[in-house]
Structures are given as structure tokens and as C-alpha cells.
A and B are shown apart, each in its own frame.
Chain A
């Protein structure tokens, strides 16, 4: 349930661009069904994570080449305004399950979520990948290692570092995501 939404969020943490994240998830889903559709269903979730992570890495590679051209051409291009941004979009209602919550509480939750997402985005790529696969996707250490194509030891190290870095960053920003809060 919501696999594609979680994958989209993960892609967003990494690429921070909605269109690019959508492309990554769409391509990953198509690739999964086209190339690996014949495999047993139990193998597909792990493969999907692997495809998404590889697609994110591919995006970074392509972005490196593109940014070179952008740097070269930016001095020639005219300045762009943000006219194409719709201010009404920020007022859009969401169909979340917490609409019944009090406005102040809702705002607090949203702010916490936003900060957590920002801090996850700031983690080094491999640490973020390991942490998300391990704790959001609830893969075990061995599965995470297979999805990331690395050793189980590396997964543990990446997860531990990510958890420490994230906890410190959140504490610094006044967020304590413990069960009591």
C-alpha cells in the first residue's frame, strides 16, 4: 500500500525535484514489471527498491553533465521570474487522516514532518539510502545490503551514522521524535 508514494518521497529526498522524482518512480515501476515481472512476487519489493536507488544514482550522473552545460549557458540566458508558480497551490487541502486534529497540533506535526524530511535530504546519499530502506521500508540488514549492493557491515555503519546525524540535527532544531512526544 502506497509503495509508489513512499518511493516518490524517497526520490524527492534525494533529487529535490518533483518532476524528476515522478519520472524516477514511473520508470522504476515500468522497469520492474517489464524486466522482472516473471519473478516470484516475494522478490519484487527488494528489486523495486534497488531499481529506485539505481535510478536516483543515474539521475545524479546525468545531472552532473547537465549542470556543466547550465553553468556555461546561464550567463547567456535571460533572468527567469517565478511567474509559473501558482500561489493557490500552497492553500490546497490534503486528504490526510489527521484533518480532524486541532489546527495548532496539525501545524506542529507538519512543521516537524517538514524539518525531518529536510534533515533526511541533507544526509549523505548512502546513509540516507540505508536508513530509509532499513527503517522506513522495514527491510532487514541482509535485504538492505542486497538492495544497496554492499556488505551488511556497511549497512549497519550507514544506519548508525544516519540515526546519530539525524537525531543531532533534529535536536538542534527543537524536534525530539521520541514516542513520548
Chain B
């Protein structure tokens, strides 16, 4: 068999094999068509996803605000509220101590007098 005969032979076999593709069972043909469709859908979906990724970086401010800026703003607001509450608590404690000191029978100067503290310590030792 020379090259030309081989080509003729190959061509004839091709024709017969092509007939064979019609003999594929309908169930198999359907599964193949479905697989082809799935592959094509995935092919179409990929460029769309790539575009969406780029678009978010450039013009997707609405998405960016919703996903990043809003939680950040909420975090800052919470931190601010916590700080204010702590400051108020501290002021209230100081106010309370002040009120107790001012309404006490013992004069306020007694706490500032070192001699009084020394006297107290000495007095404790004696008892």
C-alpha cells in the first residue's frame, strides 16, 4: 500500500466511522450534548467573572461601601460609644467619691495631713 492508497483507504474508513457516530445510543448522545453544554457554560461564565472582579476594583463603589465601609463605620461608632460610656462612668465615680468626702463628718483637710495619718498608724500599734 503506497501513500496514495493509504490516504484513499483512510478516507473510506473515515466515511464508515462517520456513519458509526449516528449509531451512538440516544442516551449517550444526550449525556454528551449535556456535557458539551456544561463545558460551554463554564467557558462563558469565566470571562464574566473576570470582568466582575475588575469592575469592583474600578467602579464598584456601591459594592465596596456595602462590604467594607459600612462595617468599618459601625466599628468606629461602637468604639466611640464605648469610650463615651467609660468616660461618663469615670466621672460618675469621681463625683460619688467627692460627694462622700464633702458630706463626711471628718474634715477634708484630715486626708491631706500627714501628721493625722502618722497618729492613726501609731494609735493602731498601741491597740
Chain A positions within 8 Å of B, measured between CB atoms, are 2, 4-6, 8-9, 18, 22, 25-26, 29-30, 32-34, 37, 89, 92, 94-98, 109-110, 112-113, 116-117, 120, 131, 134-136, 138, 159-160, 163-164, 166-167, 177-179
- State in angstroms the CA–CA spacing of A112 and B24 once bound together: 16
Chain B positions within 8 Å of A, measured between CB atoms, are 1, 6-14, 16-26, 28-29, 31-33, 35-36, 38-40, 42-43, 46
User: What's the minimum C-beta distance from A110 to chain B, rounded to whole angstroms?
Assistant: 7
* Given A135-B14, A163-B6: A113 touches B19 (CB 8 Å cut-off): yes
What are the residues of chain B within 8 A of A37 when measuring CB–CB? 42-43, 46
Lowest 6 A-B CB distances belong to which pairs?
Answer: A135-B10, A96-B22, A33-B43, A29-B39, A26-B35, A5-B21
* Given A30-B38, A33-B39, A96-B23: A116 touches B13 (CB 8 Å cut-off): yes
- Check if B12 sits within 8 Å of A177, measured CB to CB: yes
What are the residues of chain B within 8 A of A135 when measuring CB–CB? 7, 10-11, 13-14
What are the residues of chain A within 8 A of B14 when measuring CB–CB? 135-136, 138
Judged by DSSP, the binding face of A is helix
- Check if B22 sits within 8 Å of A98, measured CB to CB: yes
* Given A5-B29, A98-B22: A29 touches B13 (CB 8 Å cut-off): no
User: What's the minimum C-beta distance from B5 to chain A, rounded to whole angstroms?
Assistant: 8
19 pairs from A and B in contact (CB 8 Å cutoff): A4-B32, A4-B35, A9-B24, A22-B32, A26-B39, A30-B38, A92-B25, A94-B22, A96-B23, A116-B13, A117-B20, A135-B10, A163-B6, A163-B9, A164-B1, A166-B9, A177-B9, A178-B8, A178-B12
Residue among B13, B29, B38, B46 with the highest chain A CB neighbour number at 10 A:
B13
- State in angstroms the CA–CA spacing of A9 and B20 once bound together: 8
What are the residues of chain B within 8 A of A112 when measuring CB–CB? 16
What are the residues of chain A within 8 A of B40 when measuring CB–CB? 33
What are the residues of chain B within 8 A of A92 when measuring CB–CB? 25-26
Residue on B nearest A160 in the bound complex, by CB: B6
User: What's the minimum C-beta distance from A122 to chain B, rounded to whole angstroms?
Assistant: 14
